[in-house]
């Protein structure tokens, strides 16, 4: 008896590591060598390629493909139909498997529906990528980015609330009451 749930239509190749309490839904495919932490939720029609590593409590919504070179820390949210790439200049007739670029998604980050993360650009902790954004550069911790190409529009709290900084560069999350400091274009929880 396994300590995770997999729908009968899910395909799980030998050699996958799947944490306790993880759920894998309809028509999803986990490929040899991927690692999923505890209590992940893998939606319908998801593909997780070899060597992908997901931390604990990662939520992957429907129709997401996570390609080799991607790692996600704990508590990451990957919205419906969002896209990772792993080759910067793909061509069908040219094999570039030795050129895969790595992308790391930091703890607590959220990536909105239909967003595209161009490979080789890391997403910071608790960053918030808006729906449909196309990320073409590094995203700092707590940053809110939207658009094509994605541009930073502000800062978000760990609870996903927009932060408004006062004259002393202090902001309070409306939902949690937690305080944040903006210093040298970086946000820290205080």
In this prediction, residue 2 carries a pLDDT of: 76
CB environment 4-24: b (16+ within 10 A), e (fewer) = bebeeebebeeebebbeebeb
Q: How far apart are CA 150 and CA 167, in angstroms?
A: 27
Q: Looking at the predicted structure, is the pLDDT value of residue 1 above 70?
A: no
Confidence tier at 3 by pLDDT (50, 70, 90): very high
In this prediction, residue 13 carries a pLDDT of: 98
In this prediction, residue 181 carries a pLDDT of: 98
What would the pLDDT profile of 47-80 be if each residue is shown by its tens digit?
999 999 999 999 999 999 999 999 999 999 999 9
Q: Would you say the C-alpha torsion 127, 140, 55, 158 has a positive or negative sign?
A: negative
Cα Rg for the chain, rounded, in angstroms?
Answer: 17
- Name, in order, each residue with C-beta under 8 angstroms of 60's C-beta and a sequence gap of 6 or more: 40, 41, 42, 43, 46, 48, 54, 66, 78
Spatial contact of 55 and 78, defined as CB atoms under 8 Å apart:
no
- Work out the number of other CB atoms within 10 angstroms of the CB of residue 37: 21
Task: Give me the mean pLDDT over the 9-33 stretch.
Answer: 98
41: Cα separation from own chain's centroid: 13
Q: How far apart are CA 151 and CA 144, in angstroms?
A: 8
pTM: 0.96
- Name, in order, each residue with C-beta under 8 angstroms of 75's C-beta and a sequence gap of 6 or more: 55, 56, 57, 58, 107, 108
């Amino acid at each position: 008896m396994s300590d995770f749930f997999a729908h009968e239509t899910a395909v799980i190749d030998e050699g996958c590591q799947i944490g306790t309490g993880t759920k894998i839904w309809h028509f999803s495919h986990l490929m040899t060598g991927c690692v999923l932490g505890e209590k992940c939720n893998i939606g319908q029609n998801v593909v997780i390629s070899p060597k992908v590593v997901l931390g604990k409590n990662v939520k992957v919504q429907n129709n997401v493909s996570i390609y080799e070179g991607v790692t996600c820390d704990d508590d990451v949210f990957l919205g419906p139909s969002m896209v990772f790439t792993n080759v910067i200049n793909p061509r069908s007739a040219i094999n570039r498997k030795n050129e895969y670029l790595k992308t790391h998604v930091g703890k607590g980050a959220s990536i909105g529906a239909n967003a595209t993360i161009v490979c080789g650009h890391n997403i910071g902790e608790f960053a918030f990528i808006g729906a449909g954004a196309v990320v073409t550069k590094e995203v700092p911790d707590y940053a809110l980015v939207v658009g094509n190409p994605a541009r930073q529009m502000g800062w978000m709290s760990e609870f996903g609330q927009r932060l408004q900084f006062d004259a002393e560069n202090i902001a309070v999350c409306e939902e949690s009451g937690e305080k944040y400091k903006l210093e040298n274009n970086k946000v820290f929880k205080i």
